């Protein structure tokens, strides 16, 4: 792969952003990038956000071939050139999504060695707030209270049914940037934090977060969990689920190993270890949960409820039985989108431009074999 030399003064790079949000959504950080890299050529093309029939994000967009030949850095959600030869000077591709499973079958992913970087770390604060919001809505029976408000009813049955989080346990499947911010907020509410990762984290170095971190958030040193667990095998997962977890947060990437990570056997274990009911929040991908098994678990009260920002498939069809399952809250994959998302995505771009300039490794580079 080609590209000009990068100096301390500037970059001489050509950057192309093909993204589904207005350029103004990141105007401050883009201005800072242009000031820091005065030789950078910046190009922006708007891609309308659409969900294709296969459930993946996309949208038709026309990118000039002559521009592609000069591009060194591509910033994108889902759009990719058809083949590597279209981008002979590419240095890296920066996705604005936390995961890259939506492009895992694309030739750029499967047949090239072009460095791919995620926006992991960008979405931690807002998604953690979504998780805690949903948990609080559930614990404080807010849906019932809001229905009474709609009816203009000042009515309290006198039952001590609401729960606070002090002393309760949150189990976080996938202790990445999102899980770490959930842990920070949960710890502040007095909760016990249990972390679960794919591979063991037995040393201080292995527990650190080396990815992009929004300042003042997360758990960079891995200090919040009272205990760490790991493994992609069912035996390890089941040992974790036996720990009487009150809030189970799914924040794992979707891979072959994590597809239907939770199914009937796992819901049965959660019920056995916590008969009062585990609450499940899924902000990973819909297919991490066996959806028919989830519906059955909700109907049989094996779990106390579920908050889902992701489903299988997406969009969720209007006639899907999940809509009518008891104690379920569903949002249309929006937990990671706020007014600050655009700025933070380009903060990752800026960090990687600095690292290319300084000859350092890229942040959030995807390991194609692991899938994240």
Residues 282, 173, single domain; the answer is: yes
Residue 263 tokens read as 């199914």
Residues 317, 209, single domain; the answer is: yes
Tell which wins on pLDDT, 166 or 6. Answer: 166
Residues 130, 72, single domain; the answer is: no
- Helix (H) or strand (E) holding 329, with range, is strand 328-330
Give me the residues paired with residue 308 across strands: 282, 330
Nearest to 16 by CA among 113, 87, 119: 87
Q: What percent of the chain has pLDDT over 90?
A: 88
Residues 322, 227, single domain; the answer is: yes
> Model pTM?
0.88
Mean pLDDT of the region 81-87: 96
Please calculate the CA angle 351-40-69 and round it to the nearest 5 degrees.
105
The model's confidence at residue 48, banded by pLDDT at 50, 70 and 90, is confident
In a domain, 3, yes or no: no
Domain that holds residue 286: 124-330
Residues 282, 262, single domain; the answer is: yes
CA distance from start to end of the chain: 23
Residues 244, 138, single domain; the answer is: yes
CATH classification at residue 199:
3.40.50.720
In a domain, 365, yes or no: no
In a domain, 369, yes or no: no
Average pLDDT, rounded, for the chain: 93
Residues 98, 31, single domain; the answer is: yes
In a domain, 1, yes or no: no
In a domain, 68, yes or no: yes
Give me the residues paired with residue 227 across strands: 194
Cα 105 to Cα 100: distance, rounded to the nearest angstrom? 10
Q: What is the pLDDT of residue 11?
A: 61
The model's confidence at residue 158, banded by pLDDT at 50, 70 and 90, is confident
pLDDT digits (tens, 9 = 90+) for 230-282: 999 999 999 999 999 999 999 999 999 999 999 999 999 999 999 999 999 99
The conformational region for residue 61 under phi > 0 = left, psi -120 to 50 = alpha, else beta, is beta
Residue 365 is classified by DSSP as B
In a domain, 284, yes or no: yes
Residue 135 tokens read as 């948990």
Cα 279 to Cα 355: distance, rounded to the nearest angstrom? 41
How many domains does the chain fold into? 2
- Please say if the pLDDT value at position 284 is more than 50: yes
Residues 311, 326, single domain; the answer is: yes
Residues 105, 144, single domain; the answer is: no
Q: What is the pLDDT of residue 354?
A: 97
CA 17 vs CA 76, 117, 204: distances in Å: 6, 14, 37
Q: What is the pLDDT of residue 5?
A: 39
Q: What is the pLDDT of residue 371?
A: 85
Residues 115, 132, single domain; the answer is: no
Q: What is the pLDDT of residue 320?
A: 98
Residues 290, 175, single domain; the answer is: yes
Q: What is the pLDDT of residue 54?
A: 57
Cα 3 to Cα 90: distance, rounded to the nearest angstrom? 7
Residue 50 tokens read as 């659409």
Mean pLDDT of the region 166-187: 97
Q: What is the pLDDT of residue 55?
A: 58
In a domain, 8, yes or no: no
Residues 110, 149, single domain; the answer is: no
The model's confidence at residue 101, banded by pLDDT at 50, 70 and 90, is confident
Q: Give the total residue count for the chain.
A: 372
């Amino acid at each position: 792969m080609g590209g000009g030399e990068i100096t301390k003064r500037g970059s001489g790079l050509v950057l192309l952003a093909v993204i589904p949000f207005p350029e103004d959504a990141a105007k401050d950080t883009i201005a800072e990038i242009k000031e820091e890299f005065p030789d950078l050529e910046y190009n922006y093309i708007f891609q309308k956000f659409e969900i294709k029939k296969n459930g993946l994000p996309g949208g038709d967009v026309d990118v000039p071939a002559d521009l592609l030949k000069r591009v060194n850095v591509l910033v994108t959600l889902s759009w990719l050139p058809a083949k590597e030869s279209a981008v002979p000077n590419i240095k890296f591709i920066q996705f604005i999504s936390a995961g890259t499973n939506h492009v895992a079958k694309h030739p750029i992913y499967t047949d090239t060695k072009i460095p791919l970087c995620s926006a992991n770390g960008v979405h931690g604060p807002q998604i953690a707030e979504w998780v805690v919001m949903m948990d609080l809505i559930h614990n404080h029976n807010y849906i019932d209270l809001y229905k009474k408000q709609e009816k203009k009813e000042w009515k309290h049955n006198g039952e001590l049914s609401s729960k606070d989080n002090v002393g309760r346990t949150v189990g976080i499947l996938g202790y990445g940037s999102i899980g770490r911010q959930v842990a920070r907020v949960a710890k502040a509410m007095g909760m016990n934090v249990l972390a679960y990762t794919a591979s063991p984290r037995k040393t201080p170095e292995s527990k650190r977060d080396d990815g992009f971190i929004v300042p003042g958030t997360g758990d960079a040193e891995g200090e919040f969990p009272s205990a760490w667990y790991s493994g992609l095998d069912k035996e390890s997962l089941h040992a974790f689920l036996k720990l009487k977890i009150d809030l189970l947060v799914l924040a794992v990437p979707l891979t072959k190993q994590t597809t239907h990570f939770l199914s009937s056997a796992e819901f049965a274990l959660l019920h056995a270890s916590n008969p009062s009911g585990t609450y499940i929040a899924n902000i990973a991908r819909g297919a991490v949960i066996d959806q028919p098994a989830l519906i059955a678990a909700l109907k049989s009260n094996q779990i106390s409820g579920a908050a889902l920002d992701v489903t299988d498939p997406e969009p969720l069809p209007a006639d899907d039985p999940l809509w009518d399952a008891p104690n379920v809250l569903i949002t249309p994959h929006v937990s990671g989108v706020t007014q600050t998302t655009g700025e933070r995505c380009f903060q990752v771009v800026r960090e990687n431009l600095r690292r290319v300039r300084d000859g350092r490794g890229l942040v959030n580079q995807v390991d194609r074999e692991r899938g994240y």
